[in-house]
Amino acid sequence: MTHAPALAVTDLEVVFDRFRALKGVSIAVQPGESFGLVGESGSGKSTLLRAVAGLAPVASGSIALDGKALGRRRDKAFYAKVQMVFQDPYGSLHPRQTVDRLLQEPLAVHGIGDGEQRIRRALEASLPDMLYDRLEGTTDSELFFLLMIDEGLDADPQGAVERAARRVAGAARNAGIEPSLKLTAAFSDGRSLYAVRHATEGQAPTLYSSALRNGRGRCIVSEPFDREGSDWQAVPPSSFVTIDAAGMSIRPFGMASEDLALAG
């Protein structure tokens, strides 16, 4: 059985204004084959590749990928299979990004991989270089914390968490997945302790608070380790908790509609 070439270029002609850059060029690259173009500078090697990628004006001739003729415009499915790496390394490879990140971005754009991988790739690709370089593991909590920092955690803790959660939901929708976020997190800036309990659907993970036995503060836990003899208070779903020198306050998070408060 004869297979169509992976790439077939036939009698290709490329013209820039009145200058004919290519004339009568034909090549055929078989599936699994490596094909090298050799020629002097200015002989048209890059022009041919740009024409295949849809980046140069084709005056006549034809280009076919896997036996299917290509029109003047290339669609997203084409660029999922064909990419051009330009000769200039500073234009082709971001000097401040790792190879891993450079490879992740097109995978996120083209929706390659399972749903969770697509969401994570999209979120990682959205981080600025300074924060992306701080990724040390693969946990969701680490990535979410970096998203919170990117959203202004220092100046606006609750707003940063809400905006980070919306970024996760947006990445899920872009991946064709209905967002489903269950979030319990606690963090501190050295002056205050913050915690959040939220879920986009269903039951949010539990969160409880209690005064310390010496009366000098409060603690936050996901599940009380000693319910007897303590004044554990359940934090309501969709809530943001702030504990500081003035006591504890609980405010609505996400879809909550009214403020809540607990005396510290």
Q: What is the pLDDT of residue 108?
A: 61
Closest CA to 79 of 100, 110, 34, 103: 110
Burial class (CB in 10 A: 0-12, 13-18, 19+), 196: buried
Average pLDDT of the chain to the nearest whole number: 80
114 and 128 in contact (C-beta within 8 Å)?
Answer: no
Query: What digits encode the pLDDT tens for the residues 49-104?
Result: 999 998 888 999 999 998 899 988 888 788 878 877 776 655 555 555 555 556 56
Within a 10 A sphere around the Cβ of 227, how many other Cβ atoms? 10
| pLDDT tens digits along 169-227 | 888 887 777 777 788 888 888 888 999 988 877 677 788 888 877 667 788 887 776 65
**Which tops the pLDDT comparison, 133 or 29?**
29
**Confidence category of residue 119, pLDDT binned at 50, 70, 90:** confident
Specify the range with the lowest mean pLDDT, choosing from 48-57, 126-135, 177-186, 251-260: 251-260
Position with higher pLDDT, 106 vs 252: 252
Other residues' Cβ atoms within 10 Å of the Cβ of residue 48: 21
- Residue 134 scores a pLDDT above 90: no
Look up the pTM and report it.
Answer: 0.54
How many other C-beta atoms are found inside a 10 Å radius of the C-beta of residue 41? 6
Phi, psi dihedrals of residue 94, rounded to the nearest 5°: -65, 120
CB 153 within 8 A of CB 146: no
Rama region for 44: left / alpha / beta (φ>0; ψ in -120 to 50; rest): left
Is the pLDDT assigned to residue 29 strictly greater than 90?
Answer: yes
| CATH 3.40.50.1360, domain 180-264, yes or no | no
Lowest mean pLDDT among 157-161, 217-221, 256-260: 256-260
The rounded percent of the chain whose pLDDT value lies above 70 is: 80
Domains of the chain, by residue range, sit at 7-85, 94-179, 180-264
**Three-class secondary structure of residue 7 per DSSP:** strand
Which has the higher per-residue pLDDT, 2 or 195? Answer: 195
Instruction: Determine the 3-state secondary structure of 42 from DSSP.
Output: coil
Q: How far apart are CA 8 and CA 52, in angstroms?
A: 10
